[in-house]
Amino acid sequence: MKQEFDVIIIGGGITGAGTARDCSLRGLKVLLIERNDIATGATGRNHGLLHSGARYAVTDKESASECIKENMILKKIARHCVDDTSGFFITLPEDDLGYQATFVKACTDAGIKAEIIDPQEARRLEPSVNPSIIGAVRVPDGSVDPFRLCASNVYDAKLHGANLLTYSEVTGFIMDQDTVRGVKVLNHRTGELGEYHAPVVINACGIWGHHIAEMAGAKIGMYPAKGALLIFAHRVNGIVLNRCRKPANADILVPGDTVCVIGTTSTKVPYEECDHLQVTPDEVNLLLSEGAKLSPVLAQTRILRAYAGVRPLVSADNDPTGRNISRGIVCLDHETRDGIKGLVTITGGKLMTYRLMAEQATDMACKKLGLDVPCATATTPLPGSEEGGIEKIFKNMWTMPTTAQKATVGRAGANVSSIPLSDEYEGSVVCECEEVPVSEIDSAIKNMDVHNLVDLRRRTRMGMGTCQGELCGCRAACILAKDRDVVAVRNDLKQFMNERWKGMYPVAWGGTLRECAYTQWVYSEVLGLNES
């Protein structure tokens, strides 16, 4: 790989991926560096809520109006990643119904369409909603698949010439007095050290951006706020459910792909914990008891797993929970701020506003490079996004499509044309819960920077279903092992299964525990994975 670039972006989350896409669409030579896989930090550890902005309308108007603008853009440029479900803000008897008027006015002021609907009508439209609701407001919330969105941005960036280095950690900056000239990188897969040069380096590392900035001698006052979430085994609700009150714990239930997600909590954690988050029993209890207020059936629904992420908040005041910190975008020019030339940090913000964050960071990079190229990401669809949605795509392809064929279209969107699905082997299903066929796995391995089974899961949803890899883990490992070292893939399979178990452990009871016991039997007793 050539070592000279126009811009180096550190961080393969949605912000870094979006920035890499924006930069490469504007004609810059881009290197995107990620120390793990793409979408491993906060990008892959959130609700997957396509915010309308309504949640922040009352407390954070700027974020709210950013959200609704980006919401409308994503519904056009990322159709295959977005599910336009709409959302309700419900008022329970214990809540103040008076807040509803304040809420609707604030939404309207921020440009968010908020419509008060009769509780009876709300119950009809969303049968899972708490039947005791006394008020409901409909807003244009939805859900978005953050893995797919991130991978699509990376894929498009690469189509426009960007280079990607995953499993590569920045160990330091190449400095020329007060100017950043590039980065030193340790490739964890090969153990090699490399140096890459560019006149501009963008730090898009979320909460880890704190350390990156420190390496260059700058300080960002970040506020690591952990949020825990639970994934339920199927979609309990079809419409996003929020509480119509000031943002609090466990008050959003999002239907995402085949599951639904309740969250979140918010607690400050030390930086050292950001790489080793555990969901505590208290958090699980809180999520379940509050979640059941949105939708009582949650109390009896099988839980697939628990997980937690860290919000990259930038502290403004001494808020113990982080709930009051703005979700607004923070784009720092370290030259004017700290006297360090060639370094930009893009942080704060949300998954929802990643594109706008990328635009601001790219604008700043272009300015430093002396270029004046307009941003095109608000109007250029991501590869796979197509008007008419997935139904139109599969109806054009097959007369009587199987669910697996439809599911593949649902994930790949218009990109499905590059995935062969017609012959019996290609179309046979690897992951039965999420209906992922052999060819989709093959295609991801070949084209989407997959180095192990966990990467493969992030690209395809394989292993994300009810059985959490019980059936598909070993099958996918066989496909992965075709062109790779079998022993390495076998170890990889162990890691994959352990990573699945990590998320199941905090909620291992009932059906989930039975599933774990069966999986354990299959992998250690039948397949002998425990033997060395």
Partner 1 sequence: MEKKEVSFNNFEQCIKCTVCTAYCPVVPVNPRFPGPKQAGPDEERLRLKNKMFFDENLKYCLNCKRCEVSCPSGVNIADLIQSARRRYSAATPTLRDTILANTDIMGHLARPFAPIVNSMVAAKPVKAVMDAVLDIDKNRTFPKYKAHGFVGWFNREARSKQAAYSKKVAFFHGCSTEFQHPEVGKAFVEVMNAVGYGVELMNEECCGVAMIANGLWKQASRHAKHNVAVFEKMVGEGLPIVATASTCTFTMRDEYPHVLDVDNSKVRDSITLVEKFLFDLIDAGKVILVFKKDYAARIAYHIPCHMEKLGWSIFTKRLMQMIPGVAFTVLDSGCCGIAGTYGFKKENYKNSQEIGRPVFEQIRALAPDFVCSECDTCKWQIEMSTGYKVLNPIVILAEALDLPATTAANRQ
Which of 278/402 has CB closer to partner 1? 402
Which of 165/472 has CB closer to partner 1? 472
Should residue 510 be labelled a site residue for partner 1 when binding is judged by CB under 8 A?
yes
CB of 491 to partner 1, least distance (A): 24
Q: Which residues contact 274 (CB under 8 A, 6 or more apart)?
A: 207, 208, 224, 310
Which of 129/157 has CB closer to partner 1? 129
Candidate residues 402, 447, 491, 520; the one interacting with partner 1 per rule CB under 8 A = 402
Burial group, residue 369, by CB count within 10 angstroms (0-12, 13-18, 19+): middle
Phi-psi region of 322 (alpha: psi -120 to 50; beta: other; left: phi over 0): left
Contact 93, 280 (CB under 8 A): no
Contact 493, 473 (CB under 8 A): yes
Should residue 435 be labelled a site residue for partner 1 when binding is judged by CB under 8 A?
yes
Q: Which residues contact 335 (CB under 8 A, 6 or more apart)?
A: 341, 342, 343, 368
CB of 463 to partner 1, least distance (A): 12
Site for partner 1 in 467-506 (CB under 8 A): 467, 470-471
CB of 518 to partner 1, least distance (A): 5
Closest CA to 7 of 370, 372, 376, 365: 365
**Interface region with partner 1, contact rule CB under 8 A, candidates 9-17, 297-305, 359-367, 478-486:** 297-305
**Interface region with partner 1, contact rule CB under 8 A, candidates 184-192, 227-235, 335-343, 446-454:** 227-235
- Which residue reads 């961080």 in tokens? 11
CB of 297 to partner 1, least distance (A): 7
Q: Which residues contact 368 (CB under 8 A, 6 or more apart)?
A: 199, 200, 335, 342, 344
Should residue 511 be labelled a site residue for partner 1 when binding is judged by CB under 8 A?
yes
CB of 239 to partner 1, least distance (A): 13
Candidate residues 465, 473, 503, 506; the one interacting with partner 1 per rule CB under 8 A = 465
Should residue 390 be labelled a site residue for partner 1 when binding is judged by CB under 8 A?
yes
CB of 300 to partner 1, least distance (A): 5
First to last CA, the chain: 37
Give the CA radius of gyration of the chain.
23
Complete DSSP assignment for 65-104: HHHHHHHHHHHHH-GGGEE---EEEEE-TTS-TTHHHHHH
Which of 113/392 has CB closer to partner 1? 392
Measured in residues, the chain has a length of 532
Interface positions with partner 1 (CB under 8 A): 83, 233-235, 255, 257-259, 297, 300-302, 390-391, 400-404, 406-407, 410, 424, 429, 432-433, 435, 465-467, 470-471, 510-511, 514-515, 518
